[in-house]
Structure 1
């Protein structure tokens, strides 16, 4: 009797295999862009909100460092963020890109402005300091951020991020 069951099972295996394939053809290797590279980093940039700073998260596709973070900041708030009352004290990207120089060396970050935005220079500098410190926290989350100095005509402010809202 056991031999009969075994023979019946063996007879049904090809039928079950045919049913399992459901007529779906094999595709082989499908080219669909580059290899997976992990999570896209999130960077916090700081905009003004009623005379104070408020951080917003931005997803960045490229490497994160203080210079790239400042470039993200200079693009300004999105329309949705503007609708929430956020604004920047820094001029828009085309007019400011050549006016801002960011350097990370000798254990500090220096941001040099060739022009300072009016009466709001301190808050504008705080936008730059906090955004730069946030970039450093993405790079090395457990390390203390390097001090950031923002200089320009009549302006010299230094910060380490302790005054930045989270």
Structure 2
């Protein structure tokens, strides 16, 4: 036998063994084991403030591209880890329903339960093909710095909108605050876009 024939045979034997070995494997169907496949986690880009300037913060989300969900996440404020890094907000923070029953005061008076804010009534977003309108209800409160607060909302809303169309130009965003103040403009000065 020549060297060339031996080399061919050496390559064919492992392939034949694999084919023959798989003949006796029964079909098992779907086997349930472990959690879902891991991969890229969808994220929203939220805009907060550090040292008086806007910064983009990426957060995991269940609704990438949903403008209203992104604005609601923004109104929840920075996480404790973000706060330790100097990240703040100029927006009034939205708080949800209390998670525990408050203790009865030592003087025997009645405990005051904070009013739960309804997310549906706190912010309303209307996103059309050519503009985004974000309305904050009086329950949201007044912002500390309306210009920077409006920029936080405009950049967050535009970033969420760009998930569906990454190459799109910034859209005009109107932010309507509770006192009737409206701030309009495009999200053209958003860092990280």
Looking at structure 2, the residues matched to 75 and 42 of structure 1 have their Cα atoms a distance apart, in angstroms, of 16
Q: When you count helix as a share of all residues, which structure comes out higher?
A: 1
Please state how far the C-alpha of 1:150 moved relative to its aligned partner.
0.4
Deviates more, 1:125-134 or 1:115-124: 115-124
Q: How many residues align?
A: 150
| Equivalent of residue 114 in structure 1, options 119, 137, 158 | 137
Q: Within the alignment, does 1:161 sit opposite 2:190 as a pair? A: no
After superposition, give the CA deviation of every residue in 1:108-150 in whole Å (9 maximum; x if it has no partner): 1101123452441111111110100111111110122321100
Q: When you count strand as a share of all residues, which structure comes out higher?
A: 1
After superposition, give the CA deviation of every residue in 1:13-53 in whole Å (9 maximum; x if it has no partner): xxx89xx89xxx98642125898697432221011112221
After superposition, give the CA deviation of every residue in 1:86-108 in whole Å (9 maximum; x if it has no partner): 11222224348323211112621
| Equivalent of residue 150 in structure 1, options 143, 166, 175 | 175
Match of 1:49 in 2: 50
Structure 1 residues 54 and 63: alpha-carbon distance in aligned structure 2, compared to 1, 3 A threshold: closer
Match of 2:94 in 1: 92
Unaligned runs of 5+ in 1: 1-15
What secondary structure does 1:138 align onto?
Answer: coil
Please state how far the C-alpha of 1:64 moved relative to its aligned partner.
2.1
TM-score (norm 1): 0.73
TM-score (norm 2): 0.64
Q: Within the alignment, does 1:134 sit opposite 2:159 as a pair? A: yes
Please state how far the C-alpha of 1:63 moved relative to its aligned partner.
4.2
- 4+ residue segments displaced more than 3 Å: 25-28, 32-40
